[in-house]
Amino acid sequence: MIRRIVLWPDPVLDHPTQPVVDFASLPPLIEEMAEAMKEAKGTGLAANQVGLGLRLALIGRADGSWFEIVNPEVLSREGGVVYNEGCLSIPGEWHDVPRSLKVRVRYRDARGEEHEIAAEERLAHVLQHEIDHLDGHVYAHHLSPLKRKLIREHMLKKKRDAGRNAR
């Protein structure tokens, strides 16, 4: 069964995830996340978006392939840029979000090996968006309180309507 994407607002999306300790448990989880991301046509997916409070995310590349980041840490940021951003957990909404143009990120892969990546533009953007999820922040966190409140209200209505349709 494909794991369902959790919609915001939800406690699992609003709290920081726990660092991964048990790397041996990762392969099946990563496989399930990859399946959910493919199904949803996402460019990235954080574990808490499928209800797992773990510091683990998938980062999609422009060519459709992806790699996993475990226990990532942003080492540095450079420059500023604004992206019109969407999120699988906030379907139907697109908003301009201020981001860094370049980031350096340290992370581990599923085998526990450490990597460092210097990313810019699209890849830097996906990394920032997914690492924010792991820190307990959806992109609305970067918007004004008023915009955040509006998105929240849209989403609560969407969730209410979905609940009604399901009955």
Using CB under 5 A, list all residues that contact Ni ion.
Answer: 87
> How far apart, in Å, are the Cα atoms of 75 and each of 25, 78, 80, 125, 126?
27, 11, 16, 15, 16
Beta bridge partners of 97: 83
| Nearest approach, Cβ of residue 43 and Ni ion (Å) | 9
Residue 18 beta carbon to Ni ion: minimum distance, rounded to whole angstroms: 19
**In terms of CB distance, is 111 or 150 closer to Ni ion?**
150
State yes or no: is 130 an active-site residue: yes
Among the options 78, 121, 130, 153, which is catalytic?
A: 130
Q: Which is nearer to Ni ion, 26 or 87 (CB)?
A: 87
76-99 burial: b if 16+ Cβ within 10 Å, else e: eeeeeeebebbbbbbeebebebeb
Rank residues 108 and 133 by Cβ distance to Ni ion and give the closer one. 133
The residues annotated as belonging to the active site are 130
